[in-house]
Amino acid sequence: MISLAALSALADEFSAELATPVAPLRIAGQDFDTDQRPVLMGVVNLSRDSSYRESVAVSSASALRKARVQAAGGADLVDVGAESSRATAARAGDGEQEQHLTPVIESLAAEGIAVSVEAYRASVARAGLAAGACVLNLTGSDDDNRMFELAARYGATVVLCHVLGPHARALDGRPANPDPVPAMLDGFGARIERARHLGVPSLAIDPGLGFGFHLDDQRARARHQTVALLHSFRLRQLGVPICHALPHAFDVFEDQFRSAEGFFAVLAHLGGTGIYRTHEIPLVRSVLDALHSFSVMPAGD
């Protein structure tokens, strides 16, 4: 059970990490202090295989409409991808992804909507960045040098995802680690150093709760995600903002699953998250506004 006593014990055990500052996040030339002003990343999926049906765009026109609605609802940027991360989803070739992504990103960028392109292949990343994406949501780690060089060339921010395998569609089968933070500190630390060496101007890290581990029991998966969200602040010692794709835990929330991302946003906030990738922008925006507006202590203290 989540309790104030348990949260207090966690904060006391890792108090140094809790107080560690992180660098601003740059989006389209603007720097965000994500502790003071959390960043909301909307989601538009150009793959019909994506599990969150409300985010699926069946055409370029549909994608543009969804992205505009999300931007109007408070999204600071919109993450666009053309291949689902579901294990059973069909693979999309590089050319197919580029064909779907390019017109959508070009149109959104022309309208002044900041776009993140989700990619793990260099050619797809290049096409997205050339079309106007200002953030690369890097869902793989087997081609880091080329990806970092591309991001540096286009002046793009990179979100590094923790993936147990070469990319999110080819996990290596390792089970979820009860405490993945030490391994993440090592893995992310080396990648951040390399990215900076190659000229990437701004970075964030994503612990990969959406795809970075194997747990077949969905309620156990949700429990693991909950712990990971609350412990995320331990990664702040890396000095960069933390991004989370908020879970929706269908097996727990069932017909109320669209409210789940609001619940997990609270846990992410308590865990020091700065960037929230969410399908439910108005809900999460309202939750975060409340968390930043209200106080623990009585008025006057």
Q: Is residue 90 part of a domain?
A: no
- Other CB atoms within 10 Å distance of the CB of residue 301: 6
Q: Is residue 7 part of a domain?
A: no
Q: Is residue 20 part of a domain?
A: no
Q: Is 166:140 a contact under the CB 8 Å cutoff? A: yes
Q: pTM for this one?
A: 0.94
Q: Is residue 301 part of a domain?
A: no
Mean pLDDT for the stretch of residues 95-104: 94
pLDDT by residue (tens digit) across 109-134? 999 999 999 999 999 999 999 999 99
pLDDT at 154: 98
Residue with tokens 């990319």: 167
CATH code where residue 120 lies: 3.20.20.20
Q: Is residue 277 part of a domain?
A: yes
Weakest mean pLDDT among 66-70, 162-166, 264-268? 162-166
The set of residues, in sequence order, having a beta carbon less than 8 Å from that of 267 and lying 6+ positions away, is: 2, 226, 229, 230
Please indicate whether residue 90 or residue 29 has the higher confidence score (pLDDT). 29
- Other CB atoms within 10 Å distance of the CB of residue 91: 12
The first and second tokens of residue 128, run together, are 């997205």
Q: How many domains would you assign to the chain?
A: 1
How wide is the angle at C-alpha 193 spanned by C-alphas 171 and 224, nearest 5°? 40
Of 133, 140, 123, 139, the residue nearest 103 (C-alpha): 133
Q: Is residue 186 part of a domain?
A: yes
The set of residues, in sequence order, having a beta carbon less than 8 Å from that of 31 and lying 6+ positions away, is: 24, 25
The set of residues, in sequence order, having a beta carbon less than 8 Å from that of 174 and lying 6+ positions away, is: 164, 213, 214
The set of residues, in sequence order, having a beta carbon less than 8 Å from that of 203 and lying 6+ positions away, is: 23, 157, 158, 159, 160, 192, 195, 196, 240
Residue with tokens 């765009």: 57
Q: Is residue 211 part of a domain?
A: yes
Print the domain residue range for 106.
32-83+98-292
pLDDT of residue 25 exceeding 60: yes
pLDDT at 178: 76
Q: Is residue 89 part of a domain?
A: no
Q: Is 26:202 a contact under the CB 8 Å cutoff? A: yes
